[in-house]
């Protein structure tokens, strides 16, 4: 194997292995982001618990207006989790090269198929022309036709002065 071949092989191996390591980094980053989201959700839950306890105490011990306000605050509070506390789901990694290939390959395939079909048609046409010319020359050389390439017209069944019969008979000197 030449030095160029070895260098190319090493380059392919390095690119392949570096592609594998980026996938692990991606999933590590998602794990860290999910851990951070879980910590934020725990802190929000603690804050919500403290708020509900405070409002419950106001509703139990406050004057009439404070109890109404605390009860309304508890009734209208938004207990749904917001999108910030949702876990991040890993997305399948998409190769940019595959994305480009999915666009270019069908076009290139169609183009090359058209070109090769064109070349087949040209070759067939050339071959048909050559066969027709060969058949025509063969029939003329056999004397089947009345016209020879030298321009002398001789009717079928008669001999020319060079000893060639114009029909499928024997030669005569």
What integer best gives the mean pLDDT of the chain? 76
Note the residue count of the chain: 173
Q: How confident is the model at residue 128 (pLDDT cuts 50, 70, 90)?
A: very high
- Does 3 reside within a domain? yes
pLDDT score recorded for residue 88: 72
pLDDT one-digit tens code per residue, 70-109 = 888 878 876 655 555 577 777 777 788 888 888 999 999 9
pLDDT score recorded for residue 171: 47
- Rounded CA separation 115/103 (Å): 19
* 147 pLDDT higher than 80: no
Q: How confident is the model at residue 20 (pLDDT cuts 50, 70, 90)?
A: low
How many other β-carbons are positioned within 10 Å of the β-carbon of residue 143?
A: 20
Please count the structural domains in the chain: 1
pLDDT score recorded for residue 156: 54
Range of the domain at 19: 1-93
- Does 56 reside within a domain? yes
Residue 166 exposed, middle or buried by CB count within 10 Å (0-12, 13-18, 19+) = buried
Overall average pLDDT of the 60-65 stretch: 82
- Does 46 reside within a domain? yes
* 167 pLDDT higher than 60: no
- Rounded CA separation 92/88 (Å): 13
- Rounded CA separation 115/102 (Å): 21
- Does 167 reside within a domain? no
Contact 82, 64 (CB under 8 A): no
Exposure class string for 86-100: b at 16+ Cβ within 10 A, else e: eeeeeeeeeeeeeee
- Rounded CA separation 32/38 (Å): 10
* 152 pLDDT higher than 60: no
- Does 18 reside within a domain? yes
- Comparing C-alpha atoms, which of 173, 39, 23, 33 is closest to residue 89? 33
């Amino acid at each position: 194997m030449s030095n160029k071949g070895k260098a190319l092989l090493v380059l392919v191996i390095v690119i392949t292995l570096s592609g594998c390591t980026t996938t692990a980094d991606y999933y590590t980053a998602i794990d860290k982001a999910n851990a951070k989201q879980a910590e934020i959700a725990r802190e929000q839950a603690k804050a919500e618990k403290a708020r509900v306890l405070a409002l419950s105490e106001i509703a139990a011990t406050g004057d009439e207006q404070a109890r109404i306000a605390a009860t309304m605050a508890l009734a209208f509070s938004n207990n749904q989790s917001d999108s910030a506390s949702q876990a991040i789901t890993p997305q399948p990694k998409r190769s940019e090269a595959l994305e480009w290939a999915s666009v270019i390959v069908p076009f290139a395939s169609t183009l090359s198929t058209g070109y090769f079909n064109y070349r087949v048609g040209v070759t067939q046409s050339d071959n048909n022309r050559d066969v027709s010319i060969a058949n025509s020359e063969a029939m003329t050389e056999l004397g089947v036709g009345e016209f020879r390439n030298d321009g002398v017209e001789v009717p079928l069944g008669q001999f020319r002065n060079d000893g060639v019969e114009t029909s499928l008979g024997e030669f005569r000197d």
